[in-house]
Amino acid sequence: MHSSPCSPKVNHMTDLLEHPRGAEAGKPGDRSAFSFETITRLSPSAQGLGRDGARYGRTGIIHTPHGDIRTPAFVPVGTQAAMKAVLPETMKELGAQCMLANAFHLFERPGEDVLDAAGGLGRFMHWDRPTFTDSGGFQVLSLGAGFKKTLAMDVTGMKSDDVIAKGKERLAFVDEDGVTFKSPLNGDKHRFSAEISMGIQHKIGADIMFAFDELTTLMNTRGYQEQSVERTFRWAKRCVAEHERLTAARLGKPYQALYGVVQGANYEDLRRHAAEQIASLDFDGVGIGGAIEKRIIGNTCAWICDAMPESRPRHVLGIASVDDIFACVENGGDTFDCVAPARCGRNGAIFTRFGRYNIKRAEHKLDFGPLEEGCDCYTCRNYSRAYVDHLLRAREINGFTLATIHNEHFFVKLLDDIRDSIDGGYFEEFRDESLAHFYGK
């Protein structure tokens, strides 16, 4: 039916952004607007890493004020309310269901008050789907010890609580109340605590946010890891209290879900203890965080899920390795975020079903085929390896755009296909075939 010239035009994106579920003028956000619904569970097996052979992998739906997320799902990272070189509309077209932004970086610029005045992260960046923010806890590590990558670290013979990455300066200092940061932008000093992080994240306005935690390295001593787990639990209790206060005070805003973060490095007893602590608090979901040795990443997820209520969604922070994703999904991971697809793409690393390759190698200069045969992303439908190689060598922004689109599509689709395999009852076959193709086994 066609509307008459006098009929009001409906902008569905604007309508969704302005009228999220559970937001009513003069009232606190309705918590029932956020929930998790399980669809299909993986059956227990003799190889199951959970209690009594449980495999916690599942499909489901995270219901949020700004829409639903079908899980397992990949969450692209737009650190500063933007995916570098790619518009939100394009992220939507390539299949992204949600995006994550970094609370610390948005605090530094443009400032949380700007996002609050704009109506929240989604409206600010013109994104009509669910959003996440991390708490700033990662900066405890990256600005403290200086390590940007914390998974599968080589820690042979290395244990030190004062470890600093080579060539780095310590820019974050932890105490019982919080963390003092030295800005990497201008050297200014800032202070984050549980309460400050909650205040910043409430103003940023994402659908899902994380409690402020301390992220350690695998090089920290056992004694320090024990202290850190207890400190993170004390901060978690303060985050829950401040979250409840701000939810009640900020009338007319949609409810923001709060996830607690489980730390404990690669120690099973600490991970289980931390999981029980976080499970005891009134969180909406859980973040599986921290430095984890690659060889036990599936076990770590299972240890944590042993303690978690089925109704809480589980987010695995900072993971984008194909084998790790399969291991984490099988053992309970519902959502995953990582900067690697975009960062690698900008440097010429292209992900495909048959492994990762460097587009800037000489053999691609005259290759006029797509980045990946059979891929239906925008880049592969329209551009060649030779062209993307040229753009990246010339440092043209278009090259960043095209490589990022392909890599983000790869991970979004991988999780979509994993979800289909669980629902369809062929997860094991799909896992084994995918890993054999990707790693050439």
Residue list for the binding site for Zn(2+)? 375, 377, 380, 406
How far is Cα 320 from Cα 318, in angstroms, rounded to an integer? 7
Per-residue DSSP letter, 59: E
Show contacts of 49-56: CB within 8 Å, 24+ apart.
49/298, 49/299, 49/301, 49/302, 49/331, 50/302, 50/305, 50/306, 50/331, 50/332, 51/306, 54/302, 54/305, 54/306, 55/330, 55/331, 56/301, 56/302, 56/305, 56/314, 56/330, 56/331, 56/332
Closest C-alpha among 138, 137, 151, 142 to residue 297: 151
323 in active site:
no
Residue list for the binding site for substrate? 134-138, 213, 263, 290
CB 208 within 8 Å of CB 285: yes
Active-site pick, 116, 324, 334, 337: 337
Closest C-alpha among 33, 31, 39 to residue 72: 39
Roughly how many angstroms between the first and final C-alpha of the chain, as a whole number? 55
Q: Which residues have a Cβ under 8 Å from the Cβ of 278 and sit 6 or more positions away?
A: 233, 236, 260, 261, 262, 286, 307
The two three-digit tokens of residue 413, written as one number: 């689709």
How far is Cα 435 from Cα 416, in angstroms, rounded to an integer? 16
Residue list for the binding site? 134-138, 213, 263, 290, 375, 377, 380, 406
Distances (CA, A) of 337 to 240, 255, 380: 23, 22, 23
337 in active site:
yes
Active-site pick, 134, 306, 324, 389: 134
Closest C-alpha among 411, 417, 327 to residue 99: 411
How far is Cα 441 from Cα 436, in angstroms, rounded to an integer? 5
CB 427 within 8 Å of CB 418: yes
How far is Cα 147 from Cα 158, in angstroms, rounded to an integer? 15
Catalytic site positions: 134, 337
